[in-house]
Copies of this chain bind each other. A is one copy, B any other.
Amino acid sequence: MSKRNIAVVITARPSYSRVKSVLTAIEAHPNLRLQLIVAASALLDRYGSAVNYIEQDGFNIDARVFNVLEGENLTAAAKTTGIGILELSTVFDNLSPDIVVTVADRFETMATAICASYMNIPLAHIQGGEVTGNIDEKVRHAITKLADYHFVASEDAEKRVLKLGEDAGMVFNTGCPSIDLAAPVLQSKGLSFNPYKKYGGVGAQPALENGYIVVMQHPVTHEYALSRKQVEASLQAINHLKIPTLWFWPNVDAGADGTSTGIRAFREHHALEHVHFFKNMESSDFLELLYHSKGLVGNSSVGIRECAFLGVPVINIGTRQHRRQQGGNVVDVTYDKEAIKAAVENHFQNGRLNSSDIYGIGDAGKSIAALLSSLPLRFHKTIVY
């Protein structure tokens, strides 16, 4: 039997973390050949150059697709997707994949989904069926309707994909591949690296021995104009708390400027002597950092997903993770300085919680690779009802 070509398209730093264990499992599988395509912000320096981590991890890149149109406005997001289609269709023509894999719900992943489905290539979607509160919501469910195979991350997501009219024989709750990366961290006894030395960054370098908070807050697309105001609430709360804090810059999105500008402006007028800012971090280090922290503040899906598994307490701000299935580790708050402060003080005082399996037990990558090797190849489907 000839090997199946599995093309995986990675368009952003967080997407890489979410499928790294899938890539490893595809490479290790005797009947699969990985065709790795790195595109969009994953190639760009100012969004953290995921491509460098991918190469350091030993993966061979089959194609690089530059499709980010500068402008950071909503029109540019549409055009970036259009250019992505023009470029990816050529790449798929050249690589002739048997299956294309797309990840989650970033706007530009629609380019991957359209190319595969229009070119009659079976499309697998990882992390469909979840619910959030922004443009990703439309993108995610639209991709479910274009995809042929669904590798969902939770029971909740599985039910939702089935309700969307997908064939039950093509929906699989594999757990989330990001949990696979978190699994080894459960063994960690303490921080194994000095984050300031290893990752640089800017700002104060507070001592971490007595505990620290991690902050990661992204802009929310449909609230474009508000993103600066939103991040200021968090900045004010953190400023008052005086707890050592490690803050991560947001990823690219319409509105990134609002968030980034908000942070920069705040730093000019406040000493922030207990806060350090990082651009990004290898995901294994980041997870270890979270595991030994007092807790995470912000709106990253890491708080919902990996932190559930790791038992890390999370203050989840605003609507970005709206209605995504949560473990007991999450407390929701609004964009309000006092609410954030109070939540940190209450929720972070009891320390780490028990590990939850709602997003899997750490074998998602292998399960997905096995399915990719055995599922019937098909690109034609009909809604079940």
A349 surroundings in chain B (CB, below 8 A): none
What is the CB-to-nearest-CB distance from A65 to chain B, in angstroms, rounded to a whole number? 9
Query: Per-residue 0/1 for A292-331: is the Cβ within 8 Å of any B Cβ (1 yes, 0 no)?
Result: 0000000000000000000000000000001100000000
What is the CB-to-nearest-CB distance from A123 to chain B, in angstroms, rounded to a whole number? 9
Choose one: B85, B86, B224, B380; the contact of A222 (CB below 8 Å): B380
Choose one: B66, B83, B144; the contact of A82 (CB below 8 Å): B83
Query: Per-residue 0/1 for A78-91: is the Cβ within 8 Å of any B Cβ (1 yes, 0 no)?
Result: 11011111111110
Using a CB-CB cutoff of 8 Å, which residues 32-80 of chain A contact chain B?
43-45, 66-71, 73-79
CA distance A88 to B143 in the complex (A): 21
A165 surroundings in chain B (CB, below 8 A): 141, 160, 163-164
> What number of A residues sit within 8 Å (CB to CB) of B?
67
Query: A94 near B: Cβ within 8 Å?
Result: yes
A120 surroundings in chain B (CB, below 8 A): 74, 135, 221-222, 224
Query: A138 near B: Cβ within 8 Å?
Result: yes
What is the CB-to-nearest-CB distance from A142 to chain B, in angstroms, rounded to a whole number? 4
Assuming the contacts A107-B118, A133-B382, asked whether A83 and B66 have C-beta atoms less than 8 A apart, the reply is no
**Among the listed stretches A109-117, A186-194, A360-368, which one makes contact with chain B, having 4 or more residues with CB under 8 Å of it?**
A109-117
Query: Most chain-B CB neighbours within 10 Å: which of A67, A92, A145, A164?
Result: A145
Assuming the contacts A165-B164, A222-B120, asked whether A70 and B75 have C-beta atoms less than 8 A apart, the reply is no
Query: A146 near B: Cβ within 8 Å?
Result: yes
Assuming the contacts A138-B381, A222-B380, asked whether A110 and B119 have C-beta atoms less than 8 A apart, the reply is no
Residue of B nearest to A116 (CB): B78
CA distance A160 to B165 in the complex (A): 9
Q: Are B44 and A69 in contact (CB under 8 A)?
A: no
Q: Are B75 and A89 in contact (CB under 8 A)?
A: yes
Query: Most chain-B CB neighbours within 10 Å: which of A70, A88, A111, A383?
Result: A70
A84 surroundings in chain B (CB, below 8 A): 82
CA distance A14 to B372 in the complex (A): 39
Q: Are B94 and A66 in contact (CB under 8 A)?
A: no
CA distance A380 to B165 in the complex (A): 22
Residue of B nearest to A68 (CB): B70
Residue of B nearest to A123 (CB): B138
Using a CB-CB cutoff of 8 Å, which residues 365-385 of chain A contact chain B?
379-383, 385
Q: Are A82 and B90 in contact (CB under 8 A)?
A: no
Q: Are B163 and A119 in contact (CB under 8 A)?
A: no
What is the CB-to-nearest-CB distance from A161 to chain B, in angstroms, rounded to a whole number? 11
CA distance A137 to B78 in the complex (A): 23
Query: A209 near B: Cβ within 8 Å?
Result: no
A85 surroundings in chain B (CB, below 8 A): 78-79, 81-82, 85
Query: A257 near B: Cβ within 8 Å?
Result: yes
A143 surroundings in chain B (CB, below 8 A): 142
What is the CB-to-nearest-CB distance from A304 to chain B, in angstroms, rounded to a whole number? 16
3 closest A-B pairs by CB: A82-B85, A141-B145, A66-B71
Given contacts A86-B87, A117-B135, 17 further A-B contacts (CB under 8 A): A45-B257, A66-B71, A69-B69, A69-B70, A69-B83, A75-B89, A77-B119, A78-B89, A81-B82, A82-B111, A83-B86, A86-B86, A131-B382, A137-B382, A141-B383, A160-B383, A323-B382
A selection of 7 A-B contacts at a CB cut-off of 8 Å is A69-B83, A74-B119, A83-B83, A110-B114, A137-B382, A163-B385, A164-B164
